[in-house]
Chain A
Amino acid sequence: MFEEVLERIKYYKELGLNPLALATGCAVKVDLLRVVYPSIKFLREELKGLNLLIAPREDALVIPGSINEVCRRIYSLGSDKDVSLEDIESLSRGRDLYAVTVVQVFQRYADSPEAFLEKIAPIYKALAQSRVPITIGKGHSILTPFPEDEFILFDFMPHSSGKGEGITAVNNDTIHIIDPSQEPGDMKQISGAISNSFNDIFVLGVHKKLRMIPVLNAPTEELLEKLWRNAKLFAKQYNIEIIDGMQPKRGRLLMGATAIGHSDKKPPMFEDRVKPGMKLVITRPMGELAPINLYLSSIIDESIVKELEIHGISFEEVEKAKNRAVEYISKPNIEAAMAIYKYLPDIFEEFKEDEHIVVTTDVTGPGVFVVKELAERTNTKIRLYGIPLLFPEISRIATKLYIIPNSTSGTNGPFIMIVPDNIVNDLIRELKSRGLEPSVIGEVIGKGEPEVIAPKKLKEYIADQKILSQFKLE
Chain B
Amino acid sequence: MVKFIKIDEGKYLLDVRGYTCPYPVIYTRKALTKLSSGNTLEVLTDNPPSCENIPRAVKEDGHEVLSVENIGRGVWRITIVKR
Contact = CB atoms under 8 A, between A and B. Distances in A.
B74 A107 contact: yes
A27 B20 contact: yes
Contact of A145 (B20, B22, B25, B53): B20
B48 A31 contact: yes
B63 to A, nearest CB: 13
Contact of A403 (B22, B33, B48): B22
Contact of A300 (B21, B26, B60, B73): B26
Interface residues of B, number: 26
B33 A303 contact: yes
Given A115-B73, A402-B56, A301 B29 contact: yes
Contacts of A405: 21, 49, 52-53
A115 B74 contact: yes
Nearest to B28: A402
Given A109-B74, A303-B30, A463-B56, A404 B49 contact: no
A145 B48 contact: no
B15 interface: no
Contacts of B18: 18, 21, 145
A21 B20 contact: yes
Interface in A264-316: 293, 297, 300-301, 303-304
Contacts of B29: 301
A464 B26 CA distance: 16
A403 B25 contact: yes
Contacts of B53: 402, 405, 463
Interface string B19-56: 11111011101100100000000000011110011001
A26 B30 contact: no
B4 to A, nearest CB: 13
Contacts of A225: none
B48 A21 contact: no
B65 interface: no
Contacts of A18: 18-19
B57 interface: yes
Contacts of A231: none
A53 B13 CA distance: 47
A22 B18 CA distance: 10
B75 interface: yes
A203 interface: no
A217 to B, nearest CB: 18
Q: Indicate the member of B20, B23, B29, B52 with the most A CB atoms within 10 Å.
A: B20
A28 B27 CA distance: 19
**How many interface residues does chain A have, given as a range?**
20 to 34
Contact of B46 (A25, A145, A403): A145
Interface in A80-95: none
A297 B46 contact: no
Contacts of A108: 46, 73-75
Contact of B19 (A21, A111, A463): A21
Given A303-B33, A402-B53, A405-B53, A26 B22 contact: yes
A39 B19 CA distance: 25
A325 interface: no
Contacts of A402: 22, 25, 53, 56-57, 60
A450 B78 CA distance: 36
Interface string A99-113: 000000011111100
B13 to A, nearest CB: 19
A55 interface: no
A144 B70 CA distance: 19
A31 B21 CA distance: 13
B69 to A, nearest CB: 13
Contacts of B33: 303
Nearest to A398: B22
A20 interface: yes
A119 to B, nearest CB: 11
A301 B75 contact: no
Contacts of A303: 30, 33
Interface of B: 17-23, 25-27, 29-30, 33, 46-49, 52-53, 56-57, 60, 70, 73-75
22 contacts: A21-B19, A26-B22, A26-B49, A107-B74, A109-B73, A109-B74, A110-B48, A110-B74, A111-B48, A111-B70, A143-B20, A145-B19, A145-B46, A145-B47, A297-B23, A297-B26, A301-B29, A303-B30, A402-B22, A404-B22, A405-B52, A464-B52
Q: Considering the complex of A and B, which 9 residue pairs feature the smallest CB-CB distances, nearest first? A: A108-B74, A27-B20, A402-B57, A27-B21, A23-B20, A26-B21, A111-B48, A145-B18, A403-B22
Given A21-B19, A301-B29, 7 more contacts: A27-B49, A106-B74, A109-B73, A297-B23, A402-B25, A402-B56, A405-B52
